[in-house]
Homo-oligomer: A and B are copies of this chain.
């Protein structure tokens, strides 16, 4: 029985920081700043603030850097999958009464997916259905 591990909720900006560390970790604050320098226009101070908040929320943990003892090496404490799932569920609940197919239907109506994307989705569904059929 896995414990229900409650994932922290994080803000938009915090999500960007997490993505950096999900893609590769551990990293020092400076490395995170460097990675985000291109993608965003955030002041390094801001990024450090966000890192601090993520630590407080227990979305990030850290260890001491062995080369430079002042620095921390940050790493995610929650997987991207877990967070994505939690966020998705909460959004689906809020907006679509939790119904994934309502969401997909609504979304498809106006957004155009390519035929390939649709086929890929169908494959995903077929696979899932086979699992159910046993």
Nearest-Cβ distance from residue A116 to partner chain B, whole angstroms: 10
A100 touches B113 (CB 8 A): yes
**Interface footprint category on A:** 35 or more
Give the number of times this chain occurs in the complex, counting copies: 2
A85 touches B107 (CB 8 A): yes
Which residue of chain B is the closest to A121 with respect to CB atoms? B101
Residues of chain B contacted by A122 (CB below 8 angstroms) = 122, 125-126, 129
**How far apart are the CA atoms of A110 and B84 in the complex, in Å?**
12
- Interface residue? A1 (CB, 8 A): no
Which residue of chain B is the closest to A16 with respect to CB atoms? B94
- Interface residue? A43 (CB, 8 A): no
- Interface residue? A66 (CB, 8 A): no
Give the residues from 93 to 113 in chain A that come closer than 8 angstroms, CB to CB, to chain B.
94-96, 100-101, 103-108, 110-111, 113
- Interface residue? A120 (CB, 8 A): yes
Query: Which of B85, B87, B101, B106 interacts with A120 by CB under 8 Å?
Result: B101
Residues of chain B contacted by A111 (CB below 8 angstroms) = 85, 89, 100
**How far apart are the CA atoms of A89 and B84 in the complex, in Å?**
14
Residues of chain B contacted by A104 (CB below 8 angstroms) = 100, 104, 121, 124
Give the residues from 33 to 77 in chain A that come closer than 8 angstroms, CB to CB, to chain B.
none
Query: Which of B84, B89, B96, B124 interacts with A96 by CB under 8 Å?
Result: B84
